[in-house]
Chains A and B, each alone.
Chain A
């Protein structure tokens, strides 16, 4: 019983990391249909921001809290820059965007290698995140790591903040307007190019926040974004585009599935099984869990 609960919690915390990463993608890929392979390197930028800040701010806790907004700004600025320089020229060619941003991702990785060295680096977690919370006592105790709980809280906060932004603010309304009908939004006086850039800033900023979170559970390295980004893209594919609901559900579902399968088989077999499950799922719902149905041909 404890084992099942423990694995489920591990799965939820994997899901929380996935969710943090996928949230940004739900804006850039889900809403704008841009596949930004450099999203993983924005995560890396967030992580290195944490690392640099910890060198200059002595308290680990303070530096972590400062890192959250700073990483958001750093990654967001990178994203907006990328949108301005390259992506806005490619909105009608999503597959080319994918490969172009892959090129950007290669260059950013090399930049990180040149700046911080090829070996991984580590940050120190603040004391209040190093311990565990004992949920069930007794001979077979069930404990949750504080850092994992922190990430979970961060993910939930990010989801709420993003969803409120999209729903309540005029920026959110403009983003949704552009997503639903670009031409109409344009003639209604919305500067679609500015909305695009802002959405990209937000989405990339969220990647930066995810990068801060990742420093709590693993090392920081130039290629840290490459593998995890694919899982996050799968979350969007399975969750369906245009709605946060699907992203949230699928992130946690894939996290728990990965964790449970890892426990009953091995890490590598679990990876393959999760992919098989995804392909099977797409047989049932090729457009993902939730979609906005339209009459358009494509």
Chain B
């Protein structure tokens, strides 16, 4: 299929009207990695992804497979093999699952193909339907899908787009435990052939599936490494502790718990969304 490529970010800086959201980030994502970006709210995770995909202007350098991305327009970056999802699933609600995928597959189509009717199901689309488990729903309007199914459809759209780098913004938010598990397995499977970067607040999910982790804080990379390494980093504990202490003070509850358990805590996380602060 596609050749594996890595992401190399150097000195990335994004500011909005004087507020610096990303403040000199250096980040390397190896080809075929399944990288999790974590960090408290406002750490700059989403802005970082926005900058890589060309949605916001940034300074510095972002190399993907050796080619500079900064300064290119959104759709050109997309065509160079980078796909992303958003915090809220955005699929074309008025179109069917099949039509959604067919559009995602077609950015390189010529004029004549575009002006003709779609006949049957293109092979990559059929494969993606199979992979994300929506074959039976191919002809349903995307607007009628359940929340988790929309997220899978979005991931399927990235697959047919044949991106080499997937940037996923909180893909399991709002999913049930089973759906999370399935999504995690899907991501592991995908990262065999593509590079995957996931922004996530769900620490159980992160612990279960991350191959490597970067912790962002106040627009900078605070710590990087395997799950165990990051959890052992005193600076990470401090950031989350400070945060957790503040959060808990507001809630009036007992002291914080550290991310010290290497194994996922089973069913306890099911149904929880973005509960990072209390959890870590």
User: Which A positions have Cβ atoms within 8 angstroms of B?
Assistant: 293, 295, 297
Contacts and interface: CB of A to CB of B under 8 A. Distances in A.
A295 B16 contact: yes
A293 B16 contact: yes
A247 B3 CA distance: 53
A282 B86 CA distance: 28
Interface of B: 16-17, 47, 50, 56, 86
Nearest to A297: B86
A293 B17 contact: yes
A67 to B, nearest CB: 43
Contacts of B50: 295
7 contacts: A293-B16, A293-B17, A295-B16, A295-B47, A295-B50, A295-B56, A297-B86
Contacts of A293: 16-17
A297 B47 CA distance: 12
B119 to A, nearest CB: 33
A293 B86 CA distance: 19
Nearest to B46: A295
A284 to B, nearest CB: 16
A120 to B, nearest CB: 47
A81 B223 CA distance: 58
Contacts of B17: 293
A293 B47 CA distance: 14
A209 B17 CA distance: 36
Contacts of A295: 16, 47, 50, 56
A293 B55 CA distance: 13
A297 B85 CA distance: 13
| Shortest 7 CB-CB contacts between residues of A and residues of B | A293-B17, A293-B16, A295-B16, A297-B86, A295-B50, A295-B47, A295-B56
Contacts of B47: 295
Contacts of B16: 293, 295
Nearest to A292: B17
Nearest to A294: B16
Contacts of B56: 295
A295 B87 CA distance: 13
B141 to A, nearest CB: 19
